[in-house]
Amino acid sequence: MLPARNMFPKPLSKSRMCIVALLVPLAGLLALPPSPTRQESPAQGEAPPAPQTIGSSTVAFTTSMEVLNDSVKLGIGDRVSFRVVEDRRAPIGLVVTDSGEMEVPLIGRVTATDKTCKQLAQEIKPLLERDYYVRATVIIGLDQIGAKSRGKVYITGQVRAPGILEIQADDPLTISKAILKAGSLADFANKREVRVIRKREIQPGEQPHARKTAAKKPSFFSQVFGTRKEAPNEFTETFIVDLVEILEKGHLEKDLLLKAGDLVVVPERLFNF
């Protein structure tokens, strides 16, 4: 039988106790799961990847031309994303220049102003299929609306502040808005026969020519009730707008959307009482 003093382990020395105290937390650190690796920063002189815009990401996942925007018309300074589905490349950014054109890969400059993304894509499609693709699914998406003015509208006649109005890029200008921006109607304005004179778009292959028409003396009935129609003009078209229907009865579907270069004429009433 061993002596009683050998039944218990020999106590550690102070130096050994210090070593154990250091090894215990080190073992805990070694048991921790590895921390996730940090993403490496770009090399010196290399620009970080640019964030993808909403428009370009939409174009990247769109495969049908039927879903393209067909309500917002493009203007100067607008930025769009463009790709051909069959090409399997990432979308590229294009800009509508001051001339109203867009530099499209392979086919060059194409007029883009006053066309929606869907209209422009449908116009580009046959041009690409003619020489470069058996089938081209053209996808165009509007990324950013340009800050430049869409053009000018001229308003004259019975308004309180006739003059020139700018068409803002983010605010389509209707005839009712133009009247309000011109200080509203004057006291003797004819609300029912406001005229909008617009330069007519010449169709491809069409060559208009000046045509002289014999002036006819208006009848007494047309002079009194203002029903006389103007002689036809091959270069312009005239719209008659009834502001009573729009401003007083709330028929906003009759509120004509104005275009750059339009001339708005507010006539005077024949009887002012």
Residue 174 has what pLDDT? 93
**Per-residue pLDDT tens for 79-132?**
999 999 999 899 999 999 888 899 999 999 999 988 999 999 999 999 999 999
Q: Are strands 152-157 and 263-266 parallel, antiparallel or unpaired?
A: parallel
* pLDDT at residue 14 tops 70: no
From the number of C-beta atoms within 10 Å of its C-beta (0-12, 13-18, 19+), residue 206 rates as exposed
Instruction: Indicate if the alpha-carbon torsion angle 20, 21, 22, 25 is positive or negative.
Output: positive
User: Which is higher by pLDDT, 170 or 175?
Assistant: 175
Report the distance separating Cα 49 and Cα 94, nearest Å: 19
Q: What is the distance, to the nearest Å, from the Cα of residue 192 to the centroid of all Cα atoms in its chain? A: 33
* pLDDT at residue 227 tops 90: no
Lowest mean pLDDT among 54-63, 95-104, 170-179, 250-259: 54-63
| pTM flag (> 0.75) | no
* pLDDT at residue 11 tops 70: no
CATH of domain 152-202+225-266: 3.10.560.10
Q: What mean pLDDT do residues 12-38 have?
A: 48
Q: What is the distance, to the nearest Å, from the Cα of residue 2 to the centroid of all Cα atoms in its chain? A: 97
75 within 8 A of 146, measured Cβ to Cβ: yes
Residue 119 tokens read as: 């209209």
How much of the chain, in percent, has pLDDT values that exceed 70?
A: 66
CA dihedral 173, 176, 179, 183 (to 10 degrees): -100
Q: What mean pLDDT do residues 169-181 have?
A: 88
Residue 49 has what pLDDT? 38
Residue 73 has what pLDDT? 87
Paired strand residues for 171? 168
Residue 107: count of CB within 10 angstroms of its CB: 13
Under the banding of pLDDT at 50, 70 and 90, the label for residue 211 is: very low
Q: What is the distance, to the nearest Å, from the Cα of residue 15 to the centroid of all Cα atoms in its chain? A: 77
Report the distance separating Cα 147 and Cα 149, nearest Å: 7
Residue 55 has what pLDDT? 57
User: Which is higher by pLDDT, 132 or 218?
Assistant: 132
The runs of H, that is alpha helices, within the chain are 14-31, 54-61, 117-131, 175-181, 220-225, 243
Residue 99 has what pLDDT? 86
Domain 54-144: CATH architecture, name and number where available: 2-Layer Sandwich (3.30)
User: Which is higher by pLDDT, 114 or 40?
Assistant: 114
Residue 188 has what pLDDT? 92
Q: What mean pLDDT do residues 56-65 have?
A: 85
Count how many Cα atoms sit within 13 Å of the Cα of residue 32 in the half-sphere of its side chain.
7
54-144 and 152-202+225-266: identical CATH topology: no
Report the distance separating Cα 190 and Cα 130, nearest Å: 53
173 within 8 A of 259, measured Cβ to Cβ: no
How much of the chain, in percent, has pLDDT values that exceed 90?
A: 47
**Residue 207 identity (one-letter amino acid):** Q
Cβ-based neighbours of 65, under 8 Å, separated by 6 or more: 118, 121, 122, 125, 137, 138, 139
* Domain chopping of the chain, boundaries: 54-144, 152-202+225-266
* pLDDT at residue 176 tops 90: yes
Residue 202 has what pLDDT? 66
Residue 238 tokens read as: 């005239």
Residue 112 has what pLDDT? 94
User: Which is higher by pLDDT, 14 or 123?
Assistant: 123
Average of per-residue pLDDT values in the chain:
76
Residue 31 has what pLDDT? 46
